[in-house]
Amino acid sequence: MNRFESTWLAHIHARKDGVENVRTLIACSGGGDSTALLVFLWAVRKSLGLELLVAHADHGLRDSASEDAAFVRELCRKLDLDLVEADLDVSGHAKSTGLGLETAARELRWAWLKAEAESCGATAVATGHTLDDHTETVWLRLSRGGGTGSLTPLPARQGLRWSPLIQARREELRTYLHTLGLPWREDETNLQGFTARNRWRKLLQVMREESPSLDAHLWETHIQVEELRTFRDDLVHSWRGNRWNAAPDKICLHGSFSDAELRWVLEAAFRELGWPREADQLRGLAAWAIPHLRGRSRKTKTWGGWKLDSEPSGWALHPIWQETLPSAGRLDGGEIPQEAT
């Protein structure tokens, strides 16, 4: 086991990914990330007790896709691993759903991987997400108004999806493959600026020249933010019933709140009720409501599309018209990360 494999295996154990002794389906496009993933998991399969299978999808979008498939087949033959393949009609799916090609490809690919995992009894689908992907996702979320939800780490394990190399830099994976004398395939579309992720990727290259440790520092910041968010959420949950409650069409508030406390409660209640959460909207709503919650007047108050009604035990906040609810942005930065290609 070389130094790369030892480090990445230690990350898996430290994170407690929960993948020991399971059947794992590896999504492999033939690109540098997924090729390194496949070779790494093959190298540590006995240490983790993994039973490995490989999946490769042709999206029908690139002339070189047949060469990618041939590369993955040959690699699986050398490693003596079973391979399943699929031809996905991404263009047709994009046209029928109105999705962009990237989103349509991701949707079709993940649906197929889930079906294959269920068919073969795999309890994990390994994808080649890296620390670079994590940083790119952070900037995408921040640019879309993700709030503190942008500053939480992409989980290494999220249901069926498993990203063993989420703490490894993309350049490390290339060095690892060079060390082993192994080639990989390059997807030329990753260099084209037709997606927001690709455009951020170019900007981040410049930022990393100024701060080579940007990705590692960002990951550590995210771990600390996640701990604070967990503490906050536990605190808000402990107030449930005594200081606030949520009904299908309203939020019940009891007593007074600080500005931050009310925003935390509103975010938790909005999430539970399935109401869209926009940071500016919640901040404005809390700032308007707090003086009324503390005041003596029990008259109904209105602001924008919201109304505060007096109740025997406090106040009830609810939308006047459902269509006036905020529609843009979410505080949890709920983008599903793309699989590495």
Write the pLDDT tens digit of every residue in 328-340. 333 443 333 343 3
SS3 content of the chain, % helix, strand, coil (to 5): 50, 15, 35
How much is the average pLDDT of 250-266? 94
Burial class (CB in 10 A: 0-12, 13-18, 19+), 335: middle
On whether the CB atoms of residues 53 and 81 are closer than 8 A, the answer is yes
C-alpha to C-alpha distance for 256 and 15, rounded to whole angstroms:
40
On whether the CB atoms of residues 1 and 43 are closer than 8 A, the answer is yes
Report field, pTM of the whole predicted structure over 0.85: no
- Which pair of tokens denotes residue 128? 């080649």
The HSE-up count of residue 132 (CA atoms within 13 Å, CB side) is 22
On whether the CB atoms of residues 298 and 310 are closer than 8 A, the answer is yes
How sure is the predictor about 278, in pLDDT bands with cuts at 50, 70 and 90?
Answer: confident
How much is the average pLDDT of 80-90? 92
Give the residue among 228, 285, 229 at the shortest CA–CA distance from 257: 285
E-assigned strand segments in the chain: 23-27, 51-58, 83-87, 124-126, 157-158, 161-162, 244-247, 250-253, 301-303, 306-311, 314-319
Q: How far is CA 88 from CA 60, 85, 130, 229, 320, in A?
A: 7, 10, 25, 39, 45
Give the residue among 266, 274, 263, 254 at the shortest CA–CA distance from 322: 274
On whether the CB atoms of residues 111 and 53 are closer than 8 A, the answer is no
CATH architecture entry for 3-223: 3-Layer(aba) Sandwich (3.40)
How sure is the predictor about 255, in pLDDT bands with cuts at 50, 70 and 90?
Answer: confident
Write the pLDDT tens digit of every residue in 134-161. 888 888 888 877 677 777 767 899 999 9
C-beta neighbour count of 96 within 10 angstroms:
10
Q: What is the pLDDT of residue 327?
A: 44
pLDDT at residue 326 is higher than 80: no
C-alpha to C-alpha distance for 110 and 87, rounded to whole angstroms:
13
Q: What is the pLDDT of residue 189?
A: 60
- The more confident residue out of 134 and 239 is 239
Write the pLDDT tens digit of every residue in 179-212. 999 999 987 666 555 577 788 888 888 899 899 9
Percentage of residues in the chain having pLDDT higher than 70? 91
Q: What is the pLDDT of residue 335?
A: 36
How sure is the predictor about 277, in pLDDT bands with cuts at 50, 70 and 90?
Answer: confident
Coil, strand or helix: which one is 314?
strand
